[in-house]
Chains A and B, each alone.
Chain A
Amino acid sequence: MSGTAARDAIVVEGLGVRYGDVRALVDVTARIRSGEITGLVGVNGSGKSSMLAAILERVPHEGTVRILGRKPAEARREGLVASVPQAESVDWDFPVTVRDVVTTGRFGRMGLLRIPRAADRAAVAEALELLDIAHLADRQIGELSGGQRKRAFVARAIAQDAELLLLDEPFAGVDRSSEARIVAVLRGLRERGRTVVIVHHDLSGVAELVDDVLLLRGRLLHQGPPDEVLSPERIAEAFGAGAAEER
């Protein structure tokens, strides 16, 4: 493995996603560095979530993806990747408790029957404490508020202790205290050398949180530090005129 490859958590080359006749993402070539928080930013329909799905190989795609120098399937099997889904993709009525959800983060470390050992239970308890939802652990997941639900999924990723964390719209429909808690946890992960990739559809708070931005609009418009990429001209290019003034 080369020195450059060792610093890259994700490398995509010629990445494209197509849904039927609609091209959601075209020819993206980019490197996402290890140990940083990277934001995939753009309007709704700009291909952010499609890019995340393609990195995880959840949708058919063109081009190549490498995660920590490995093929995506290998990285997944080795438990290197954790994901936090969009709220809309979850059935909140499902009969599972918060503790059940967080425990699934440890499945890769358990045997076939997925019976938690002492270390798994301890990791789950620690993650619940970290996200301040230990008191909600035995509640059905749908009984929680939007912010608490999101914290439960971040707790699952913490319990998994993966090298790479992919979050799809982690702050959508989330109250301020939950957002602050999640941001603190993500910064803590960065300090421990973990890589975080966030899909984000608006610009509030992005510059303060991320180290690197990929500005998307069906293709990669720009990549770089937020103070460079999130200039008024480039924001207007990605979001349309008026967005830069609102920022």
Chain B
Amino acid sequence: MIDALLAPFTYDFMLRAIFVTLVAAVACALLSTWLVQMGWSLMGDAVSHAVLPGVALAYILGLPFALGAAVFGIGAVALIGGVRAASRIKADAAIGVVFTTLFALGLVIVSVTPAETDLQHILFGNVLGVSDADIAQVLIVGAIVCVALLVLRRDLTLVAFDPGHAHAIGLRPRLLHAVLLGALALTVVTALQAVGIILVVAMLVIPGATASLIAVRWDALLAWSVGITVVASMVGLLGAFWLDISPGGAVVLSQGLAFGLALLFGSRRGIVIRWARARRHAVDSG
């Protein structure tokens, strides 16, 4: 029994997969807290899709994926702002137009690129086949994102909660928003190795949304978000090994299951907890 449980850890490809997934998951989980609280989940979806042409071009030109992703991620955000200003259409429509167009451009580039198989991995992830170079890139980019977010976490939280006060005390909300968007573009690079571009948005939204059902303080929110995503990622990867299913899909499914459990039993806003509180209140007042 013990041997069976430990079996995944005896394979080099599984150890690599676990390492890459956990680094990506932690970076996504940290970023997720701000995206969810600021109502930027759709922006996360947009940037994660919009980086596809950048990553594909970087692959073709032999450049780091992170470079292509950062250029197209930040470019997409600028383009969304430009489209809104020029057309006065609403934000969600501008986001929808820009990210789907860029994603389509990425698909076209992938379809005419000779080494199509490798680029298909960008769409769906290939965590069981990561190379040493992939691991190095995920580690460096993930570390940069995590350190930046943790160092700036109190300023980022203040800007998310009360940008007026942040501005009044001399912080620069626009710069901090740019930091978040830059971190978003880079985080997508780490996560696309694990689950692929199509499912990256799940890793960028579910941990923060799950933790918000539990935590009432920001530091606790960060801790819950990271803790939940680490456990869910391990469950997903090991489940994928034992059941021979898609690792990216299994990781995201595990995160979705964690959200479902928090929705029922979360100590802040879980349905069961709220029901029990309402019942206790009715008994006390009756």
Contact = CB atoms under 8 A, between A and B. Distances in A.
Interface of A: 56-58, 73, 76-79, 81-83, 85, 89-91, 94-97, 100-101, 104-105, 107-108, 112-114, 140, 156, 160, 166
Contact of A114 (B37, B155, B161, B221): B155
B215 interface: yes
A58 to B, nearest CB: 6
B170 A83 contact: no
A58 B154 CA distance: 21
Contacts of B164: 56, 58, 83, 85, 89
Nearest to A106: B169
Given A95-B37, A100-B218, A77 B155 contact: no
Contacts of A91: 37, 161
Given A95-B220, A114-B154, 18 more contacts: A58-B164, A77-B170, A78-B170, A82-B168, A83-B164, A83-B168, A85-B164, A85-B165, A91-B37, A95-B215, A95-B218, A95-B221, A96-B157, A97-B216, A104-B154, A105-B169, A140-B217, A166-B168
The 9 tightest CB contacts between A and B, nearest first, are A114-B154, A77-B170, A83-B168, A140-B216, A76-B170, A108-B169, A94-B161, A95-B221, A85-B164
Nearest to B161: A94
A107 B218 contact: no
A113 B170 CA distance: 15
30 contacts: A56-B164, A56-B167, A57-B167, A58-B164, A58-B167, A77-B170, A79-B169, A79-B170, A82-B168, A83-B164, A83-B165, A85-B164, A89-B164, A91-B161, A94-B160, A95-B212, A95-B217, A96-B161, A97-B216, A100-B217, A101-B162, A104-B154, A104-B161, A104-B162, A107-B154, A107-B155, A112-B151, A113-B151, A140-B216, A140-B217
Interface residues of B, number: 23
Main secondary structure of the interface of B (DSSP, over half): helix
A166 B171 CA distance: 17
B169 A85 contact: no
B170 A90 contact: no
Interface in B145-160: 151, 154-155, 157-158, 160
B29 to A, nearest CB: 15
A115 to B, nearest CB: 8
Contacts of B220: 95
Contacts of A105: 169
B163 to A, nearest CB: 8
B169 A97 contact: no
A186 to B, nearest CB: 17
